[in-house]
Amino acid sequence: MKKIYLSILSLFFTAQFAFSQTEYYFPGEKFDPEIPSPEEFLGYPVGDWHTRYDLIVKYYEKLDELSDLVKLETIGYTHEHRPKVILTIANESNMANLEAIRQTQVQLADPTQPKPNVSQMPSIVHLGYGVHGNEPSSAEAALLTAYWIVAGQSELAQRVREESVVLIDPTLNPDGRDRHSLWANSNKGFPPVADPLDREHNEAWPGGRTNHYWYDLNRDWLPLAHPESQTKVQWYHQWYPNVITDFHEMGTNSTYFFEPTKPYGSENPVVPRKNYDEINPIFADYFAKYMDEIGSLYWTKEVFDNSYPGYGSTYPDIHGGLGLVFETASSRGHLQASQRGDISFAFTIRNHVVNSLATLEAAIDNREYMHDYLREFFETAVAEGRKDPAKNYVFGDEYDESRNRLFVQFLLDHQIDVYENNADLRVGNNTFKKGKSWVVPTAQPQYRMVRTMFEYVKEFADSVFYDASAWTMAAAYGMPFAAAPSAQSGVEVKEVAKPVFEFPEGKAYAYLIDWSDYFAPKALYELQKAGIHVEVVNRPFQSQTQEGAVDFAAGTLMIPMGFQKIKDTELIDQLKNIANKNQQKVYKVETGLNLSGIDLGSNSVGAVQQPKVIMLVGPGVSSYEAGEIWHLLDSKVGMPITKVNTDDFGRVNLFDYNTLILASGNYNSLSNSAVEHLKDWIQRGGTIVSLKSASLWLNRQGITNESAVELEEKAEPESLPFASSRDFEGAKAVGGSIYMAELDLTHPIAYGYQMKNIPVYRNSNIFIQPSKNKYLTPIRYTENPHLGGYISDQNLEKLKQSASVLISPSGRGRVVHFFDNPNFRGAWFGTNKLFLNAIFFGNQMD
Ligand SMILES: [Zn+2]
């Protein structure tokens, strides 16, 4: 022990509660009296309040201070600067050898190294809690579980300390947790109100499920859009845990769910069958035993999707561990009425506590078995990868260095081996140039993640999807890629270097910046913010530059030196700095007379307006899509966006803005006068960027007049078994899948794109016909568009006849409609620029 903690006085005051509470959660267990229980530390029984995240961390700090069996580390920070912590618990000798234990575990997961003696290795158990902030029982369960492991005196608690290293993440989503906890605590009644209609049980929009940017972090283990998951996955690869938990809550009238999930239909195609068929049932027996003991109801195998690789319970399945999802009925608040009587917060916490203990017991009972499985997982990965006919995937975008860099870094973050491509290579319609493309061999330990990145899946055992049914990340990044058995691997890429471009010296008539690079919009916005006047050249041309004759595409930025409000020297300093910071190459021209194409003063050259963007948010609006847009503009452009609640729209003067964003949603709460104001504004030149169902609302208001695709509906059976309704109706949804679309490269929406074909992500059933104006459907699906994911035949027919992006002129303004999601989960780098083009060039689109 590091220090004696409790005073006699505090022992006296806490003892009377300690009995009832520890008896409820840990019947019959004795505890080391020198370690304060969570209740003693917090001053209230666990379950009485939603514990603030800083207090959760403080309790762990106290355990770290008092016990030699504990180590607390901070692995990163959330957007709102809350620390992300991991609490490690093991017996004294394992704590003394922690780094050696970690290295042996990493060695076990590396089939190129000798296999360590697993009989000597402790089980590595990662208990993860609270990825959804408004599913709060799990983080409270984490407090109690940590206490039990550190201070429990039972034989099992001692075995856990001896035979495992337990790594606890008390809250995967601290920002969302605090948002919800504040809500539940501040609306708590005395006595508590169980009525489900009470304000306590009905959070305000957007709720605490998501993180700062309204993202579901239980989808982010694959895309890694946020620091919570970036640091988590980096940490994960330092340990390769054997068993990983992910604790959730579901509806108040439900009971408890643990794995196995639904066989085949909800499983991931790259995970070995052994995980589902053999290991999950072994663990399930433990969960059942513990739940039977307390008389709590539960179910398994029915739903719960386990296929999308970005779930906290699926990512470990693709890394040789056993990922386990648990769901308890929620009290959502401190006490809520259900069909089985009032559900208390403490009841939901206890469900997760007993399953935490069951997980620990199962993990140590099957310690060697799970170690052998981890080894076997990575050995079979290499062997299967060697047999894969693709042999290698080659990828690279000739025109966009930043997006290449982001994708290579992304692969490295997932510990995938990447090599430089040694020779120019032509596969199908794509040319992969040496120096601008990379090779990923399939014969590598991360083979199953390689498949996740590069394979399109189209065949499914089921047709109902809880979530995305496609996740090919190379497509999300807009990477040209192909299977290339004959590709030659060059040097292995260990880190991704940013290019440095030399700034052209000497007197300039104008400067030019190509729009192809991913960060060109960020550079443009910074130039505008610095007071620099920037124009866009709307046709292709060739200029004499410091590097000789160069061809430029439509959409190239031009900074004319004769029309600036700031001094030349200041402008050049700013331009140099901004270009350097954003890795943009700057070209200098000394004349406006071009070698070919239009000249720099052509009528097809015009000023780029500085975007002033407003977005409506609040009830009825998709917080996910609004959050994706907010995050995109913050993190990829550095542009502020005014987020206005639909309630406050009556106070908005739209003439203070030039662009209004409407994410999917219904905007029925806007008053008639607000809609009239909107109509007036767009008639006078405003741009609305609208996503999916928002476009239907605009149609209903008469602001646009587009038509849905109508097909002769196939006759449905007149009656079907009641029990089949979910499957039958679910099969009609487009849960999230990938399609090939074709761009009109001359349209401003396509500026920065050089290739006609682009994969797009769709997760809606809205099929709108192309515009009656033949110039105004700049993105449509190809004849055979289906790339990956599930879609019904009927929907595919509708899709083929519909628009992906279309423009509806309205007076002097216009609506730019997106019927796909160009910013999905912060992962669709390949289509982000379409969305940004609508913001920067909306007024050049009709
Ligand atoms: Zn959840």
383: confidence class by pLDDT, cuts 50, 70, 90? very high
pLDDT in tens, 524-570: 999 999 999 999 999 999 999 999 999 999 999 999 999 999 999 99
Evaluate if residue 7 carries a pLDDT over 80.
Answer: no
Evaluate if residue 167 carries a pLDDT over 50.
Answer: yes
Averaged pLDDT of the chain: 94
Ligand 1 centroid to 218 CA: how many Å?
A: 8
Ligand 1 centroid to 133 CA: how many Å?
A: 8
Mean pLDDT score, 243-271: 91
Mean pLDDT score, 357-380: 98
* pLDDT computed for residue 540 by the predictor: 98
Ligand 1 centroid to 248 CA: how many Å?
A: 4
* pLDDT computed for residue 724 by the predictor: 67
Ligand 1 centroid to 246 CA: how many Å?
A: 9
Ligand 1 centroid to 241 CA: how many Å?
A: 21
Ligand 1 centroid to 475 CA: how many Å?
A: 27
Ligand 1 centroid to 307 CA: how many Å?
A: 15
Ligand 1 centroid to 250 CA: how many Å?
A: 7
pLDDT in tens, 42-90: 999 999 999 999 999 999 999 999 999 999 999 999 999 999 999 999 9
717: confidence class by pLDDT, cuts 50, 70, 90? low
* pLDDT computed for residue 305 by the predictor: 78
How many angstroms from the chain centroid is the CA of residue 791?
22
- Look up the pTM and report it: 0.95
Ligand 1 centroid to 252 CA: how many Å?
A: 13
Evaluate if residue 8 carries a pLDDT over 50.
Answer: no
Token readout for 819 is 């019927």
Ligand 1 centroid to 215 CA: how many Å?
A: 13
Evaluate if residue 6 carries a pLDDT over 50.
Answer: no
* pLDDT computed for residue 287 by the predictor: 98
Ligand 1 centroid to 458 CA: how many Å?
A: 27
Mean pLDDT score, 716-737: 71
Evaluate if residue 16 carries a pLDDT over 90.
Answer: no
pLDDT in tens, 622-670: 999 999 999 999 999 999 999 999 999 999 999 999 999 999 999 999 9
pLDDT in tens, 434-446: 999 999 999 999 9
Neighbours of 525 (CB within 10 A): 24
Evaluate if residue 304 carries a pLDDT over 90.
Answer: no
- In this structure, the strands spanning 587-589 and 510-513 are antiparallel
The interaxial angle of helices 829-841 and 401-413, nearest 10 deg, is 140
Evaluate if residue 431 carries a pLDDT over 70.
Answer: yes
Ligand 1 centroid to 395 CA: how many Å?
A: 35
Ligand 1 centroid to 134 CA: how many Å?
A: 8
- 730 versus 341: the higher-pLDDT residue is 341
* pLDDT computed for residue 712 by the predictor: 73
Mean pLDDT score, 318-335: 97
Ligand 1 centroid to 756 CA: how many Å?
A: 40
Ligand 1 centroid to 190 CA: how many Å?
A: 28
Ligand 1 centroid to 535 CA: how many Å?
A: 47
Q: Which amino acid is at 388?
A: D
Ligand 1 centroid to 232 CA: how many Å?
A: 17
731: confidence class by pLDDT, cuts 50, 70, 90? confident
Nearest residue to 316 (alpha-carbon basis) of 241, 417, 248, 411: 241
Cα–Cα dist 774/489, whole Å: 46
CA angle 551, 555, 584 (to 5 degrees): 75
Ligand 1 centroid to 757 CA: how many Å?
A: 37
Neighbours of 722 (CB within 10 A): 6
Ligand 1 centroid to 328 CA: how many Å?
A: 9
For the beta sheet containing 556-560, the strands, ordered from the edge strand earlier in sequence to the opposite edge, are 587-589, 510-513, 556-560, 535-537, 605-607
Evaluate if residue 512 carries a pLDDT over 60.
Answer: yes
Percent of the chain with pLDDT over 70: 95
Beta bridge partners of 126: 167, 244
Evaluate if residue 725 carries a pLDDT over 70.
Answer: no
Evaluate if residue 18 carries a pLDDT over 80.
Answer: no
Ligand 1 centroid to 247 CA: how many Å?
A: 7
Cα–Cα dist 843/81, whole Å: 38
17: confidence class by pLDDT, cuts 50, 70, 90? very low
Ligand 1 centroid to 174 CA: how many Å?
A: 14
Q: Where on the phi/psi map is residue 27: left (φ > 0), alpha (ψ -120 to 50), or beta?
A: beta
Ligand 1 centroid to 160 CA: how many Å?
A: 27
Ligand 1 centroid to 135 CA: how many Å?
A: 6
* pLDDT computed for residue 461 by the predictor: 67
pLDDT in tens, 737-762: 999 999 999 999 999 999 999 999 99
Cα–Cα dist 570/278, whole Å: 68
154-158, 376-380, 721-725: the lowest-pLDDT one: 721-725
- 730 versus 26: the higher-pLDDT residue is 26
Evaluate if residue 711 carries a pLDDT over 90.
Answer: no
Mean pLDDT score, 322-327: 97
Ligand 1 centroid to 132 CA: how many Å?
A: 5
404 Cβ contact partners less than 8 Å away, ≥ 6 residues apart: 396, 397, 436, 438, 479
Nearest residue to 532 (alpha-carbon basis) of 498, 580, 572: 572
Which residue shows structure tokens 């992910």?
Answer: 246
Ligand 1 centroid to 131 CA: how many Å?
A: 7
The beta-strand segments (E) located in 496-591 are: 510-513, 535-537, 541-545, 548-552, 556-560, 587-589
* pLDDT computed for residue 215 by the predictor: 98
Ligand 1 centroid to 258 CA: how many Å?
A: 13
423 Cβ contact partners less than 8 Å away, ≥ 6 residues apart: 434, 488
> Buried b vs exposed e over 563-591: b needs ≥16 C-beta within 10 Å?
eeeeeeeebbebbeebbeebbbbbbbbee
Burial of 493 (0-12, 13-18, 19+ CB in 10 A): middle
Mean pLDDT score, 112-119: 97
Ligand 1 centroid to 736 CA: how many Å?
A: 19
Mean pLDDT score, 161-167: 98
Ligand 1 centroid to 211 CA: how many Å?
A: 13
Mean pLDDT score, 36-40: 97
